[in-house]
A = this chain, B = another copy of it.
Amino acid sequence: MQAERPWADLRINSERLNNRIHQLARIGALEGGGVCRLALSDEDRKARDLVCHWMKQLGLTVSIDRIGNVTGLRKGKTDSPPVMTGSHIDTVATGGPYDGNLGVLAGLEVIETLNEAGIETIHPLAVGYFTNEEGARFAPDMMGSGVHQGALDLDQMLAVRGIDGKTVGQELERIGYAGEQPVGQFYARRYIELHIEQGPVLEQRDIQIGAVTGVQGISWTEYSIRGISNHAGTTPMELRHDAGYVAAQIVVEARRLARDMGQGQVATVGQVEMIPNLVNVIAREARLTVDLRNMDEQRLQLAEKRLGRFIDEIATAEQVEISQRSLARFQPVHFDPAMIELVDSTAARLGLSCLKMPSGAGHDAQMFAPNCPTSMIFVPSQGGISHNIHEFTATHQIAAGANVLLQTLLHCATQEPD
């Protein structure tokens, strides 16, 4: 066995990876902790420059495509499509040092580890960072990887105007990252991405590695309820048409629905507004959003239907009007079963506990999933917190994830061509 995997005991250098993470986190660092590095800002440019510098130091061939995605390529024995890893280095306005950045820098650490060990792989290896994964400045999110994998149109995306009125194209030119590499033509042999979980599951269950099975389907709906405003003191309970009460029933039902359905169904009402929002006036209007997610499209549709039926019933019962508007609807993304198994078995081989789990958040990996065998590796997020200056993952947890990344990339890159 060992002869087949001469690199089985190879491990990344955790301190070196950690140093890169903290060096990168200084660009756009916020007072009091955290990072603000919105896509295509000056801070993003500085961070891009630093990562390009590291890529070149490691001997990678750097190319920049027309939407600003940057790829560092390490030659293999063959000229086949590369086994790829990567993520993003843009952040939300109050982000942390790990979201995205970890995946890119762990990729570089894998390269440096291979360089040091003098290992040549059969297939090339690529480390990429993709433009505007967060969508915090320009919508949609996962823009760079979407264009990269042909799911989004280049020209449309270049024309997208950000929250500050500037377009993606203008800003790419301004910061010098409007590359020449064509997009929608680069296909990876395999894609695997290391990312922090951004949720509490691994920490709560004390598990070191998540083998990500896919990305949940998302259904966002806004409900607007129109009742009748009236005096809180003088209106008997049975004569009310209370928009706020109906909104609250939906919130409570969303929880019940998710608990009843189980199997990973989640439901969240994060936004509720009442009009006129006064202590002693029955609300004449209420608006709320419902966020439903499931890995299974059929069950996600079932959740939507059940909620819809409930809403029809309560509208009739309280005699209010309820209108609805879809804010977002994405089908689930399923990662490749063999890649998921590879992450799981690699973690086991390294003596790490591992859980097969879906991702509740979107990631660049999902853009690769339709085109090549794809999976992700999750490491725990302290308190489940991310998109927050308190985002934190401990060094030993990062090392565990980066070693799984190293070993899975090596496995994929040393396989004979299919």
Output the least CB separation between A418 and chain B (Å): 34
Contact A235 B199 (CB under 8 A): yes
Q: Which residue of B lies closest to A220 (CB)?
A: B279
A270 to B395 CA separation, bound complex (whole angstroms): 48
Contact of A270 among B220, B278, B327 (CB under 8 A): B278
Q: Which of A216-253 contact B (CB under 8 A)?
A: 216, 218, 220, 229-237, 239, 242, 244-245, 247-249, 251-252
Output the least CB separation between A186 and chain B (Å): 28
From known contacts A245-B251, A252-B248, A291-B279, infer whether A235 and B270 are also in contact, taking CB-CB under 8 Å: no
Q: What are the interface flags for A343-367 relative to B under an 8 Å C-beta threshold, 1 for contact and 0 otherwise?
A: 0000000000000000111000000
Q: What are the interface flags for A364-380 relative to B under an 8 Å C-beta threshold, 1 for contact and 0 otherwise?
A: 00000000000000000
From known contacts A270-B283, A277-B270, infer whether A384 and B235 are also in contact, taking CB-CB under 8 Å: yes
Contact of A277 among B234, B235, B272 (CB under 8 A): B272
A269 within 8 A of B: yes
A258 within 8 A of B: yes
Contact A384 B234 (CB under 8 A): yes
Contact A234 B272 (CB under 8 A): no
A279 to B223 CA separation, bound complex (whole angstroms): 12
What residues on B are CB-neighbors of A386 within 8 Å?
Answer: 231
Q: What are the interface flags for A267-291 relative to B under an 8 Å C-beta threshold, 1 for contact and 0 otherwise?
A: 1111111101111111100000101
A198 within 8 A of B: yes
A132 to B382 CA separation, bound complex (whole angstroms): 56
A174 to B404 CA separation, bound complex (whole angstroms): 81
Output the least CB separation between A246 and chain B (Å): 10
Contact B237 A258 (CB under 8 A): yes
A291 to B229 CA separation, bound complex (whole angstroms): 15
Output the least CB separation between A375 and chain B (Å): 17
Contact A235 B274 (CB under 8 A): no
From known contacts A270-B277, A273-B277, infer whether A293 and B233 are also in contact, taking CB-CB under 8 Å: yes
A385 within 8 A of B: yes
A166 within 8 A of B: no
From known contacts A244-B251, A269-B244, A269-B245, infer whether A234 and B280 are also in contact, taking CB-CB under 8 Å: no
Contact of A232 among B247, B265, B268 (CB under 8 A): B268
A387 within 8 A of B: yes
What residues on B are CB-neighbors of A80 within 8 Å?
Answer: none
Contact B279 A270 (CB under 8 A): yes
Output the least CB separation between A361 and chain B (Å): 5
Contact B266 A270 (CB under 8 A): no
Output the least CB separation between A116 and chain B (Å): 35
A90 within 8 A of B: no
A259 within 8 A of B: yes
A244 to B255 CA separation, bound complex (whole angstroms): 11
A137 to B300 CA separation, bound complex (whole angstroms): 51
Contact of A204 among B232, B239, B255 (CB under 8 A): B239
What residues on B are CB-neighbors of A220 within 8 Å?
Answer: 279-280
Q: Which of A295-313 contact B (CB under 8 A)?
A: none
Contact A255 B237 (CB under 8 A): yes
What residues on B are CB-neighbors of A230 within 8 Å?
Answer: 199-200, 384-385
Contact B234 A245 (CB under 8 A): no
A133 within 8 A of B: no
What residues on B are CB-neighbors of A236 within 8 Å?
Answer: 199-201, 264, 266
Task: Pull 10 A–B residue pairs with CB atoms less than 8 Å apart, ordered by A.
Answer: A198-B234, A229-B388, A232-B266, A233-B361, A235-B384, A244-B251, A248-B249, A248-B251, A249-B252, A273-B277
Apart from the given pairs A204-B239, A231-B386, A252-B252, 19 other A-B contacts in the complex at a CB distance below 8 Å: A199-B236, A220-B279, A231-B360, A231-B384, A232-B268, A235-B266, A235-B384, A242-B268, A249-B252, A268-B280, A268-B282, A270-B277, A270-B280, A270-B281, A270-B283, A271-B274, A272-B272, A272-B274, A279-B291
